[in-house]
Amino acid sequence: MITVLLLMTTGMILGWLFHKRKKLIKLSSELTNWAIYLLLFLLGLSVGTNEKILNNFHQIGFQAISITVFAVSGSILMSWLTYILFFKKDER
């Protein structure tokens, strides 16, 4: 956990220092995409060989969508409150 945060912070500092080196930054954003592709491929691979996940896929899917419904409802209600209290009065 600490390693992840340290690496990310180091990256942020380096990115800020070298933000004018366009080619370098472009390369790093290309590599970011490929690292994400690789990791999702590996996640797919281990899920594909994991009987426990495959057999419970419908349950996992249901849990996932339930979390989203609650998360979206909560954030919409919260932002509705924020909108009424702070934003609406400035509109004409």
Partner 1 sequence: MKGSLIILSFFAGGLLIGMYKILPAQFLETDYSMYALYFLMFLVGIGIGSNKKSLEIIKTFNFKIALVPLSVIVGTYIGVSVFAFIQNELSFIDSIAVGSGFGYYSLSSVLISELSSETLGVIALLSNISREIITLLFTPLFARYFGKLAPISSGGATSMDTTLPIITKYIGSDYAIISVFSGVVLTILIPFLITVIL
Q: What is the binding site for partner 1 (CB under 8 A)?
A: 1, 3-5, 7-19, 25, 28-29, 31-32, 35-50, 52-54, 56, 59-61, 63-84, 86-88
Q: What is the 3-state secondary structure (H, E, C) of 28-43?
A: HHHHHHHHHHHHHHHH
Q: In whole angstroms, what is the distance from residue 82 CA to residue 92 CA?
A: 17
Token pair belonging to 70: 């609650």
- In angstroms, give the least distance from the CB of 7 to partner 1: 4
- In angstroms, give the least distance from the CB of 88 to partner 1: 7
Output the CA torsion 44→46→52→55 (10° steps): 30
Token pair belonging to 19: 């933000």
